[in-house]
Structure 1
Amino acid sequence: MEAITVAVQLPVLRAQNVTLHVKREDLLFPNLSGNKYRKLKYNLEAAKAGGHKTLITFGGAFSNHLHATAAAGKQYGFRTIGLVRGEELREKPLNPTLAQAHQWGMKLFFLNRKEYRLKSDPDFLKTLMETFGPAYLIPEGGTNDLAVRGCSEILTLADRDFTHICCPVGTGGTLAGLARSAQPGQHILGYPALKAPDLQKELRTWIFANNWELVRDYHFGGYGKINPELIGFINDFKGKTGIPLDPVYTGKMLFGILEDLRRGRLGSGSRVLAIHTGGLQGIAGMNMQLKKKNLPLLHL
């Protein structure tokens, strides 16, 4: 399935002789939007082929991946278990992301940060399987080889004339898939949503080409961090283009693309395709946090 691609019209683009299009992966499915559908597609097939009835995965309090996995479980008949970072959340009311996942049937278990850091440890995973299994395990963010395979299907031959392909980066599965399927001469720019100093090294386990790079200047302090400047940009971008952006991933990416344009990183004549990876479900929860801090709210 191919997402629609929308042209963005802004004065700064015309002034620099650059075209910018946004591939609206977020519109593919209501609850499995963006890269989460791509990452889950082949994992769900593998789970079904293996006879699994239960999916187990990891995520933070506002995780798009937990939200999407819960939706997939409800839609395709899997029992779902979400291991959530932050034991302090156990005694608090569920935020909109976790509340929706719970409503869709996901059983939530809250881990302290020390336990959560063991999410890739073989002994810890063995214990999980003994406790909750048998089950099909999906890594944090959904990134594994099957997820990369799914994300490689984002680009099609219709995208062959773009010079730059841009995407937000969390665990890196989307970037890896794009790097695998890009046409010769296309350059992949990944905009990390978090500091992640080891991310480049981790990505090398998935990507063997040299057609990509990370642009690390626009994480705004780390995962889930946001300030009035970014809020203003997201609201202004939606007002001018009609395209909503989430504050964790796509908002930071588009901010970075347009700032890179002003800085001359994207040269005259560049044809840029930005991948909208979804995540809009997180806006309601983010607005709750912003309201507590007396910050401006994101426009839904």
Structure 2
Amino acid sequence: MNQIIKIENRVVFIKREDLLHQYISGNKFRKLKYNLEEAKRSNHQVLLTFGGAFSNHILAVAAAGKDWGFKTIGIIRGDELKNDYLKNPTLRKAEEFGMEFVFVTRAAYRTKNNHEFIEQLKRDFGNFYIIPEGGTNDLAIKGCEEILTTQDDDFDYICCAVGTGGTIAGLINCSKPCQKVLGFPALKGEFLPEDIRKFANKDNWELITEYHFGGYAKVTTQLIDFINEFYMDYKIPLDPIYTGKMMFGIFDLLKNNYFPENAKILIIHTGGLQGIEGMNLVLQNKNLTQIKYNAH
């Protein structure tokens, strides 16, 4: 569903991918679709994946496993969480969906793609279908290529938040050559363009790198205030890790006349709203303003 809103006297459209599923939300729904089909086709009973304590991907895989009848295993970054993880709303809900956790040190987590690390997991858990951190692989790109439809052909700009680069790669592949795809990275790092080019088949894209607010999962009072004002004005929730930063950037670009006057702009809302509860715990502990959002 494309929802129309007005920003800086400009009409823009938001594709509400966040409404696809409560827990397998937005781009996670797209990334998992064909991976789940392949896991079923190849007769796997177990899904194994990786993520941090507040990962949208971890929760989505747990929910998908419950819905599709898979056992799920999450390799979680940070062994200090082992004894306290039930205080974490993301991990608590993932466990309710049946996910089993393995908490590893940050140093060990950095080796998660090494052959030795994977072989040890196989010895521990047997045969499993592995889904990479963030969910990005060839099948995930295939799913993300279905975000745009023929009804979106007349947009000049497609805007999306960027994490691992899989979603924007899928958008690039299904965009028209005359369209410009703008990505708003949620983290700092020079590696993203290279990662995107591994999957993208066009050059009609650009990364807008000024709106990461200090890096992945970093926020400021300015960002939280913006998210709350946006929700109050438009009744559309944004998460503080991805879509909030993207939307802040789009507002700023519109204010500074980045887009041509008659350009048609489509913004992809990639979900991730489950992360609000965890961020609010962090903000509460720092006595800072929390994100206002009614999940029901």
Q: Which residue of 2 aligns with 1:265?
A: 258
**How far off its partner does 1:209 sit?**
1.2
**How far off its partner does 1:89 sit?**
1.1
Q: Is the 8 A contact 2:46 2:73 kept in 1?
A: yes
Q: Which residue of 1 aligns with 2:216?
A: 223
Whole-angstrom distance in 1 between the partners of 2:274 and 2:268: 17
Structure 2 unaligned regions, length at least 5? none
SS at match of 2:274: helix
**How far off its partner does 1:87 sit?**
1.2
Per-residue displacement from partner, 1:127-163 (whole Å, max 9, x unpaired)?
A: 2222212000000000000000000000000001110
Whole-angstrom distance in 1 between the partners of 2:254 and 2:13: 14
Residue identity opposite 1:253 in structure 2: M
**How far off its partner does 1:86 sit?**
1.0
Q: Percent identity?
A: 52
Report the TM-score when normalising by structure 2.
0.96
SS at match of 1:110: strand
Q: Which residue of 2 aligns with 1:89?
A: 81
Structure 1 unaligned regions, length at least 5? none
Q: Which residue of 2 aligns with 1:199?
A: 192
Per-residue displacement from partner, 1:191-244 (whole Å, max 9, x unpaired)?
A: 111112211111111113101111111111111111110000000001111111
Q: Confirm or deny that 1:78 pairs with 2:61.
A: no
**How far off its partner does 1:268 sit?**
1.4
Whole-angstrom distance in 2 between the partners of 1:8 and 1:123: 50
Q: Confirm or deny that 1:5 pairs with 2:15.
A: no
Q: Which residue of 1 aligns with 2:234?
A: 241
Whole-angstrom distance in 2 between the partners of 1:5 and 1:21: 6
Q: Which residue of 1 aligns with 2:58?
A: 66
Instruction: Return the match for 2:148 from 155, 174, 196.
Output: 155
Residue identity opposite 2:278 in structure 1: G
**How far off its partner does 1:172 sit?**
0.8
Q: Is the 8 A contact 2:24 2:63 kept in 1?
A: yes
Instruction: Return the match for 1:180 from 173, 176, 179.
Output: 173
Whole-angstrom distance in 2 between the partners of 1:39 and 1:209: 20
Q: Is the 8 A contact 2:85 2:91 kept in 1?
A: no
Whole-angstrom distance in 2 between the partners of 1:274 and 1:38: 16
Residue identity opposite 1:45 in structure 2: E
Residue identity opposite 2:228 in structure 1: N
Q: Confirm or deny that 1:44 pairs with 2:41.
A: no
**How far off its partner does 1:123 sit?**
2.7
Whole-angstrom distance in 1 between the partners of 2:253 and 2:170: 23
Q: Is the 8 A contact 1:19 1:270 kept in 2?
A: no
Q: Is the 8 A contact 2:157 2:266 kept in 1?
A: yes
Matched pairs, number: 292
Q: Is the 8 A contact 1:96 1:284 kept in 2?
A: yes
Whole-angstrom distance in 1 between the partners of 2:196 and 2:162: 10
**How far off its partner does 1:267 sit?**
2.2
Instruction: Return the match for 2:121 from 114, 128, 137.
Output: 128
Per-residue displacement from partner, 1:55-80 (whole Å, max 9, x unpaired)?
A: 00001111000000000011110000
Query: Which stretch shifts more, 189-198 or 259-268?
Result: 259-268
Q: Confirm or deny that 1:111 pairs with 2:108.
A: no
Report the TM-score when normalising by structure 1.
0.95
Query: Which stretch shifts more, 193-202 or 244-253?
Result: 193-202
SS at match of 1:120: coil
Instruction: Return the match for 1:165 from 158, 167, 170.
Output: 158
SS at match of 1:295: coil
Query: Which stretch shifts more, 176-185 or 260-269?
Result: 260-269
Q: Is the 8 A contact 2:33 2:143 kept in 1?
A: yes
Whole-angstrom distance in 2 between the partners of 1:289 and 1:278: 20
Whole-angstrom distance in 2 between the partners of 1:192 and 1:120: 23
**How far off its partner does 1:47 sit?**
0.3
